[in-house]
Amino acid sequence: DAKTTQPPSMDCAEGRAANLPCNHSTISGNEYVYWYRQIHSQGPQYIIHGLKNNETNEMASLIITEDRKSSTLILPHATLRDTAVYYCIVRVGGQAGTALIFGKGTTLSVSS
Amino acid sequence: GAVVSQHPSRVICKSGTSVKIECRSLDFQATTMFWYRQFPKQSLMLMATSNEGSKATYEQGVEKDKFLINHASLTLSTLTVTSAHPEDSSFYICSARLDSTDTQYFGPGTRLTVL
């Protein structure tokens, strides 16, 4: 799987939008971008994933650049409960036996 | 939907004993499940891929005779840590793949402490 690069940490004020960047310059055409987050001492939580179009769900929006070499996860109104480690992962789609490989992620700290 | 449970959530055992951890997909069937391990302040490390009805595939450096994986049904995979030692103390997390969306959902994790 292609590697991703994320900033190690970010801060965000409560109520503001949190924009988490991810670089995946070597992504292949059949690789999807997945975002998960892990709150301390819990299992990772699925947030969103996409191939090339922008995606939005009740948790977040995913913006993928046209060349697919980078993406941004947007939490529109961050709350204290959004404090977590956020992982951006690229993975070949449609292959059951292909696991998610986790990097170091971005630690997002939301403060009041 | 897409809920995965693990049992137990926390276990303490003596060195040399074996511990079984269960991973269940509660509202979907999963032909493929995965087991991860996470040490303090580190990221998740993939241990093995578990396929229903067949042998697990282990990552390099993971001892298959020490970490026994059984995926006997479409909703249950088990990880047994045999002859546990203090260095096996870790946070063990499973995930199950929802085939319809090709998305993995994770359990809450099991904290293993070996004394």
CB B72 within 8 A of CB B80: no
Is pLDDT at B107 greater than 70 in this prediction? yes
* Predicted local confidence at residue B22, as pLDDT: 98
pLDDT one-digit tens code per residue, A10-34:
999 999 999 999 999 999 999 999 9
Average pLDDT over residues A79-100: 93
In chain A, count H helices and then E strands: 0, 9
Is pLDDT at A2 greater than 70 in this prediction? no
Residue of B62, B106, B110, B113 to mutate for A, most A C-beta atoms under 10 A: B106
* Predicted local confidence at residue A97, as pLDDT: 85
Contacts of B103 in chain A (CB under 8 A): 34, 46, 49
Average pLDDT, rounded, for chain A: 95
Sheet holding B76-81, edge to edge: B4-7, B19-25, B76-81, B67-73
**Nearest residue of chain A to residue B107 (CA atoms):** A43
Average pLDDT over residues B76-104: 96
Q: Which two tokens stand for residue B35?
A: 């087991």
Residue of A45, A99, A105 lying closest to B34 (CB–CB): A99
pLDDT one-digit tens code per residue, B32-86:
999 999 999 999 999 999 998 889 999 999 999 999 999 989 999 999 999 999 9
Average pLDDT over residues A68-72: 97
If contacts are CB pairs under 8 Å, which of residues 43-72 in chain B contact chain A? 43-46, 49, 51, 57
Residue B114 phi, psi dihedral angles, 5° rounding = -110, 120
